[in-house]
Amino acid sequence: MASRGALIAIEGCDRSGKSTQAALLVQRLRDAGVPTELVKFPDRTTVIGKIIDRHLKGDAELDDHSIHLLFSANRWGFKAWMERQQRAGVTLVLDRYVHSGLAYSMARGLDVEWCRATDIGLPHPDLVIYLDAPPTVAAGRSGYGAELYENVELQQRVYNAFAELQDASWVVLDASLPPENVAKDVLVAAQRCVSLP
Ligand code: DGP
């Protein structure tokens, strides 16, 4: 029987380089023969994900508690699939996960314990890699400002919330460095829970 696949969450503020790093990590693990899948949250293709997408594009106004619940529900929609993959020995690299759910809702002023409750029961990440990019660095990157939460004031609050959520188990990387350097450190960190041949 295959040994259980790992769950690696890559977290950070908008434009901190998560999607680039998540894709690179998936590629490097696959190249090393580790069965790996990428999961991006929010997944905008599901029924709930489509509502989230409209909200982020300013096309569907939802209050902060409702949107928090929808982001959480979007993750719940993948619980059974994630568990099946892990049981089959597939490692999952998550581009955002439950800590994004907390940080963005905290930044909008919601109670952290209320927010945490909605994700209780989802699979726990084996590793959280946090890409630390101060909002002023991220704001200079291409495409910034296209969606609802992409403004420096809110991103500063998200950044502060991530700082509050961090614990000693997180691997915190300086995301203002060139992507190749960050990628090397991401791969080293991943080896805490994935053994490479
Ligand atoms: P992304 O597709 O990774 O750029 O995420 C879209 C936006 O949604 C981004 O501004 C971060 C925000 N976001 C991601 N996950 C969550 C979540 O679980 N809760 C809330 N409130 N916002 C989230």
Integer Cα distance of 25 and 10 in angstroms = 10
Residue of 18, 39, 43, 56 to mutate, ligand 1, most atoms within 8 A of C-beta: 56
Where in the chain are the domains? 7-190
- One-letter amino acid identity for 41? F
Residue 155 has which token pair?
Answer: 């991103």
What kind of fold does domain 7-190 have according to CATH? Rossmann fold (3.40.50)
Quote the CA–CA distance of 5 and 38 in Å, as a whole number. 13
- pLDDT value at residue 138: 87
56-108 pLDDT, tens digit per residue, is 999 999 999 999 999 999 999 999 999 999 999 999 999 999 999 999 999 99
Average of per-residue pLDDT across 7-29: 97
Residue 81: what are its φ and ψ, rounded to 5°? -65, -45
Point out the ligand 1 atom lying closest to the alpha carbon of residue 98: 18
Q: Is the pTM of this model over 0.85?
A: yes
Nearest by Cα to 89 from 185, 195, 175: 195
Q: What is the pLDDT of residues 113-155, one digit of tens each?
A: 999 999 999 999 999 999 999 999 888 888 888 899 999 999 9
In whole angstroms, give the CA distance from residue 165 to residue 116: 11
Residues with CB under 6 A from ligand 1: 14, 41-42, 56, 67-68, 71, 96, 100-101, 104-105, 147, 149
